[in-house]
Amino acid sequence: MKKVINEVNKLNQQTKQLKYNLYNTLKKLEEEYIETGQYYVQILDYLREIAHCLKFISDPIFEHLDNHHPPLLSEQVKDMEELNEKVNSYFNYILLMIKKQKYENLDKLILHQQAILEFITKMKKRQIKLIRSDSVGTRNTLMYLNLLSESKNLVLYTLNMLKSHRDFSLSDELIKKIKFHQNIVS
């Protein structure tokens, strides 16, 4: 877990540095790329939020383990493992879309996102039932609900980041086509 915390801290520092250098980066943009600058800003904002989510997920887990609080119940572990599989699949799909720069299947991704969000809602309802039956304690509940909330935020921010990346890519392609056309006409 310490290794994960270190990786998340590095990611946080990297995104913070990118955000800190935003002014200089935007100032260096060539005139024809100014329109794409807004997408760059959006992407950085979402990356910062994603990094924060990971921090808000990893720190409470580490604290829970470090303080030797009782572990999650087997049904909670099973749900978390299923959520992990769904989110990994979702992220892999996003990475593939970014690598190929093909965004035609965005509707499928949105459905995937909705399925994850619905699963998180079901997990929260199951947690409430566990609370009502006195099967879990306060610390377990606080950490578990926090993980679910931050996982939800992570999934939402990631799709928004992908949409901004798509808009940035499409805008950049349009600028290149215009420049190409201007060169032909000249």
Q: Which of 40-51 are b and which e, b meaning 16 or more Cβ less than 10 Å from the residue's Cβ?
A: bbbbbbbbbbbb
Per-residue confidence (pLDDT) for residue 152, from 0 to 100: 98
Query: Residues with Cβ < 8 Å from 41, sequence gap 6 or more?
Result: 22, 26
Instruction: Please give the C-alpha separations between residue 34 and each of 25, 46, 47, 62, 172, in angstroms, as whole numbers.
Output: 11, 20, 20, 42, 10
Q: Mean pLDDT of residues grouped by 10 in the chain (186 residues)?
A: 94 93 82 76 94 96 92 96 98 95 92 98 97 94 96 98 89 54 45
| CA gap 138, 119 in Å, rounded | 22
Alpha-carbon distance 12 to 132, whole Å?
A: 37
Q: What is the CA radius of gyration of the chain?
A: 21
pLDDT at 118: 98
What are the structural domains, with CATH classification, of the chain?
Answer: 2-185 (1.20.58)
The structure's pTM equals 0.86
